[in-house]
Amino acid sequence: MRILVAEDDPVSLRQLQAYLAEWGYEVTSVTDGQEALEILQAPDPPRLAILSWVLPGRNGIEVCREIRKRARRPYTYILILTAKVTKQALVESWPSGADDYLAKPFNPYELRARLRTGRRTLDLRSQLLSAYRLIQTQMTLDPLTGVWSRNVILDILKRQLILSSHSDSPMGLVFVNIDHLKNINDTFGQLAGDTILREMARRIRVALRPPDSIGRSKADEFVIVLPGCDAPTAATLAEKFRTRVDRRAFDTSEGMVPVTASLGVVVAPAKRVLDLNMVWRLAAEAVARAKANGRNRVESATL
């Protein structure tokens, strides 16, 4: 691991360099606080730093304080090396954001132990950040198919309805409901059903235009938002989505499974304020008509 050492005492600096190299660290050394600050503010800085409290240019506490002001940067674990070992001095310096302190002259075994603590802390922060990012991804994307989650696609629809109401551009909404998905799961198993859902999402995405968005609203249904789309165009696109599914067998672990889908379409006219719930309900009713009229078809709702 890379480590920055800022120390202006030549004897102490040589000792630090020797020990750290022996322990396998890649050492960058400076003798000035301003130099240390510039290195830590550069892209991809060292994740560990040993800063002497007393330095020319800027002291270690000032450097640490400046680094902590930039909370979104990769976190650097900072150990302050100091001869000021009084409790009062340490209490006064703690708001700077230093992670640990070590008294001069330092004991190499204690230094190594404290650096190990620093590395464990950095590892834990990385794990927490990865977990947070995973949670954020799961909140925005459907984990099975990779399309937008229900909440996100609802938000996209809401924004497009507002945009349409203030412009000359209509927008379309399409519901795509997989026919008999429950029977498929019961016959071929849940894993086969999951494969069909993933492949269904892929086939539809291939047919989308650049401004279009697709999300999964429930177990067997996808929602597509079509900005700038009038009724004839929306119906044509919906038919295109249907034919990409229409009895074209899906390759699953249980063999090839033919699948069809029923689609409902509704178009929000330009410069008309519409309630999100009403538009959603009309699209759902159109899907229900498609299923009642024999499935594997497109039905449109009228506003």
Share of the chain above pLDDT 70, in %: 94
Residue 129: per-residue pLDDT: 81
Listed residue (216, 140, 147) closest to 177, CA to CA: 216
Let me know the angle formed at the C-alpha of 20 by 19 and 24, rounded to the nearest 5 degrees: 120
Strand (E) or helix (H) holding 208? none
Q: What digits encode the pLDDT tens for the residues 15-35?
A: 999 999 999 999 999 999 999
pLDDT at 94 over 70: no
Q: Is there a single domain that holds both residue 203 and residue 99? A: no
Q: Are residues 221 and 257 in the same domain?
A: yes
Q: What is the dihedral of CA 136, 141, 142, 148, to 10 degrees?
A: 150
C-beta separation of 254 from 262 below 8 A: no
Query: Could you tell me if 216 and 192 lie in one domain?
Result: yes
Q: Based on the domain organization, do 125 and 265 belong to the same domain?
A: no
212-243, pLDDT tens digit by residue?
999 999 999 999 999 999 999 999 999 999 99
Give the pLDDT score at 125.
85
Give the pLDDT confidence score for residue 97 in this predicted structure.
85
Q: Is residue 162 part of a domain?
A: yes
142 is a domain residue: no
Q: Over the stretch 114-171, which tens digit does the pLDDT of each residue have?
A: 999 999 999 988 888 887 777 776 679 998 999 999 999 999 999 999 999 988 899 9
User: Can you give the pLDDT at residue 130?
Assistant: 81
Lookup: tokens for 217:
């609203």
Give the range of the structural domain holding residue 74, as residue numbers without chain letter: 2-137
Is position 15 within any domain? yes
